[in-house]
Structures are given as structure tokens and as C-alpha cells.
Amino acid sequence: MRPVATVAATLAAVLAACSPEEEPVRSDAVEEPGVPALPAQAPEHFGFGAPASPERVALWDIDVKPDGEGLPPGSGTVAEGRQVYEIHCMQCHGPTGTEGPNDRLVSAGAWDQWPAGRTVGGYWPYATTLFDYTRKAMPQATPGTLSDDQVYAVVGYVLHLSGIVAADAVMDSASLAEVEMPARDRFVPDDRMGGPDIR
């Protein structure tokens, strides 16, 4: 079991949620007597499981971090992205990303209306997330089938439709990580703490 104070302090520090003098005890750190700790005689290591080689890790470690870490080699242009979009994406997201029937990617109105639709320009804080999600989960019927170049291209096209990158933009690991999303600074840490306050 972790000490309550550690949980509270670390979460608060990580989330930078509140100033130290008014930091309440986080109630999700309440001790849970129903959960037993590891038995006292437990060894330092059980040895069950197998070491994972760097190659084995690389096979599955394909996520992309918000600073661009994990972005693969390759590149794609907005023009190429339009072709990818029209073949693989348009039937669900519409000719301009605003029509659906599935999630609207592009805001029909100004992105600064609030609360925004959860569109790329209006609500997504990181362009890297768009790459990560598209590469893993899209197209919905054949997820994971686009090449990295195709993902760079179609991400660039959706960013262009959203008014975020120019028509001649080329997306790669460097340029994608540098994209500043309009919604970047909208997100704040959770300040609900339990206790009498309704937040």
C-alpha cells in the first residue's frame, strides 16, 4: 500500500492542480483494507514471465507521445492525404469532414465556440494524437492497414481541412510535432476532490 500522503502529493504535482496551502487530502487515496498487500514471504522477484527483447518491445510500442516521441520515419503531403481521405475516410466522415455520418472531424463554424464539437480543430489538443489514433484504429473496418506515409498524409489533409496547416504542407515526424493545435491550452486538471465542494 502506498502512503496516502504520497498519492496526494504526487498526483497534485503531476497534475499541477492546486496551490500547496489549499491542497485537500485526495479522497481517492482512502485506505482500502479489503485489498491485501503481497504476502510477507513473497520473494523480491518471482521470475514468472520472460524478458522482452528490444525487438519484441518495438513490435508493439507504436504509440506516439505528445512531443512527437514515437513518430515513425516517412512523410506525406496534404495533396496525397486528400487521395487517402477520399478512398478510406470519406464514406464515414463526409466529403469535407463536416457531414458524417460518423464523427465530424471538421468544425462547420468557428473553432472558438464553446463547448466545441469534438472536432480536430475545436477540441483535439495535440496533432500527434491524431496520428496515433488514425494509425491504430482507422479505417474502422480495416484498422492498422494504412502505411505510415498514408497516415502522415491524411493527418495533414484533416489538419488542412481544419484550417491548421497550409495546402502545401508536408507532414513528417518533425513538422507534425511542431503543429500547434487551437485547443491546446483549453485542458485543465481535474479539481474534484471529494468532500463538501461541488465542482
Output the smallest distance, CB 129 to another protein, in A: 5
CB of 168: closest distance to another protein in angstroms? Answer: 27
C-alpha cell belonging to residue 71: 513518430
Spell out the long-range contacts of 98-104 with Cβ–Cβ below 8 A and sequence spacing 24 or more. 102/140
Rounded to the nearest 5°, which phi and psi values hold at 186? Answer: -80, -20
Q: Which is nearer to another protein, 126 or 152 (CB)?
A: 126
The CA angle 80-83-85, to the nearest 5 degrees, is 110
Q: How far is the CB of 62 from another protein (least distance, A)?
A: 8
Does residue 190 contact residue 17 with C-beta atoms inside 8 Å? yes
- Whole-angstrom CA distances from 152 to 57, 136, 140, 157 are 23, 13, 17, 9
**Closer of 71 and 170 to another protein (Cβ):** 71
State the minimum distance, in angstroms, from the CB of residue 141 to another protein. Answer: 8
Binding residues for another protein (CB under 8 A): 1-2, 6-7, 10-11, 14-15, 27-30, 32, 34-36, 38-39, 42, 44-46, 48-52, 56-57, 60-61, 63-66, 114-116, 118, 120, 123-126, 128-130, 132-133, 136-137, 140, 143-144, 183, 186-196, 198-199
